[in-house]
Amino acid sequence: MLPRKTVRVLLLDPADRLLLMRMHDPNVGDASGLVLRDAYWVAIGGESEPGEDIATTARREVLEETGIANVRIGPPVWTTEHVLCVHGKNRLMQETFFLACTDTTDLNPDGWTELERQVVHEMRWWSLADLQATSDTIFPTSLVQHLAALLTGDIPASPIAIAP
Quote the CA–CA distance of 157 and 73 in Å, as a whole number. Answer: 15
How many distinct structural domains can be found in the chain? 1
pLDDT in tens, 87-130: 899 999 999 999 999 999 999 999 999 999 999 999 999 999 99
Quote the CA–CA distance of 83 and 2 in Å, as a whole number. Answer: 10
| Residues 6 or more apart in contact with residue 94 via CB below 8 angstroms | 3, 4, 5, 6, 79, 81
Q: Residue 61 maps to which CATH number? A: 3.90.79.10
Range of the domain at 37: 2-161
pLDDT in tens, 57-84: 999 999 999 999 999 999 999 999 999 9
% of residues, the chain, pLDDT over 70 = 100
Tell me the CB-side half-sphere exposure of residue 67, using CA atoms within 13 A. 10
pLDDT in tens, 23-43: 999 999 999 989 988 999 999
CA-angle at 25, arms to 23 and 27, nearest 5°: 165
Quote the CA–CA distance of 146 and 163 in Å, as a whole number. Answer: 10
